[in-house]
Every structure is written in C-alpha cells, then in structure tokens.
Amino acid sequence: MDAGPLEILISAVLVVGGFFALVGSWGLARMPTLMTRLHGPTKVTTLGVGSCLIASMIYFPAMQGKVSAHELLITLFLFLTAPITANMIAKVHLHRQRRGLDAEPMDGIADSLPESGVGTGWATFAGRETEPSDPPR
Amino acid sequence: MIEIAVLFSISCVGLAMALNLWRLARGPTQADRILALDTMTINAIALMVLMQIQQGSAVYFEAALLLAMVGFVGTVAYCKFLLRGNIIE
C-alpha cells in the first residue's frame, strides 16, 4: 500500500484534529473553576474542529473531485460564534456569582474583579436596578 | 492510512463527548452546564465531518451547518434567559 503525500497530509491533519478535540474536553473536565474551564472548549476545541474541517476540505476535492463551500461556511460560522459564546457564558457566571444565585460553588470571582479604569465600574453591572423580580434558578 | 486516522479521530471525539457529558451531569454551576452543552454540539459537528470522510459521502454537510447555527442560537438563548429572565424583551 503506497501512501501518497496527500494521504499523509490528510491523515496528519485528522490526527491533530482528534487530539485537540480531546484536549479541549479534558480541560473542560479537569480545570478547577469556570473561568479556567472556558479556555479549553473555546480555543482548543475550535482548533480541533477546524482541523477536521480542513481535512475534509482537502479530502473531497482530492479523492472524489467534488468541491463544495460547506466546510468553509461551517468553519467561518464556528470561528465567529465561539468568542461570542464564551463572552455570554462568562457574563452569566459573573452575574450569578455576584448575586449569589449559584448555591455552594462561590469562587469569589465577582468580588476579586480588578478596577475597570474608567471610574464608573464595570459596564455589565451598570443599571442593574431593572432586574427581574424573580430570576430563574 | 486515512481509515486508521479517521478511526483514531472518531475515538478521540467520542471520548471528548463522554468527558463533556460528565461535566454536564456534574455541574456544579449553570454556566458549566451551558458550556458543556455547547462543547457537545461542536463535537457533534466534528463527528459528522469525520463520518463523512469515513463513508466517503457528502450527505451530512447540511446537517452539520444546521447544527452549528442551532447550537449557537440555543446557547445564546439560554444565556439570555439566565441573565434577564426572558429571551425576547
């Protein structure tokens, strides 16, 4: 069985993709607090999925002669949405920790925030007088 | 050679989904669960792409694209719900 250079390239990218997906989830399972857990899925897993999509992007035109833009679309969408998702989740965590809604795992992140540097405090905590009266638990 | 690499990748992603499931069940905070669910969606997309390479068919691309969009919208909706108490203000 002779392995062409293209085949070796596709295999290498596939192995890298699987490895990074595993490392991202390992970080999600092993890290101590949520702010550290955010790093694994948002960066490493995105890279792993990107590698799988790159392998598919090489495989289908090279082996079957079919070219499609779907991989590019998925890659673009994932790379655009991963930071937004991370930002939203961190915001949820900050607000819930600050208001004491998460029962026992208070990691003190909301009390140890640094100064915002503009003299008015953090923008996400501004105007919280209009909170819903009965927030979801 | 590609077959072995694809099998290795599928095993890695499957193991990663098991780890995500553990984090989803364990918690301990709501934000952890949202994060685990979002990661599971991304891993499912990777699994679909790998399955396509294994089978040599390009059937699942639309499904992967849809899953990417719906997963993102679902995550943002859950975050908005926890922040505001409703989704559409």
Q: Report, as an integer, the average pLDDT of A90-98.
A: 83
Q: State the ipTM, two decimals.
A: 0.86
Mean pLDDT of all residues in A26-33: 88
Using an 8 Å Cβ cutoff, are A51 and A14 in contact?
A: yes
Residue in chain B closest to A100 (alpha carbons) equals B29
Per-residue DSSP letters for A14-43? HHHHHHHHHHHHHHHHH-SSHHHHTHIIII
Read off φ and ψ for residue A2, nearest 5 degrees: -100, 125
Residue B18: C-alpha distances to residues A80, B14, B25, B33, B36 (Å): 26, 6, 11, 14, 11
Question: Which residues in chain A touch residue B19, judged by CB atoms under 8 angstroms apart?
Answer: 25-26, 28-29
Q: Amino acid letter at A102?
A: D
The confidence score (pLDDT) of residue A137 equals 53
DSSP for residue A33: S
B34-89 tens-digit pLDDT: 999 999 999 999 999 999 888 888 788 888 889 999 999 999 999 888 887 766 66
Between CA A23 and CA A4 the distance in angstroms is 29
- Distance CA(B19)–CA(B67), nearest Å, equals 20
With contacts defined as CB-CB under 8 Å, which chain A residues touch B87?
none
Give the model confidence (pLDDT) of A66-80 as tens digits: 777 788 888 899 999
If you average pLDDT over every residue of chain A, what do you get?
81
CA distance B41 to B72: 9
Top residue of B53, B55, B66, B80 to mutate, by most chain A CBs within 10 Å, is B53
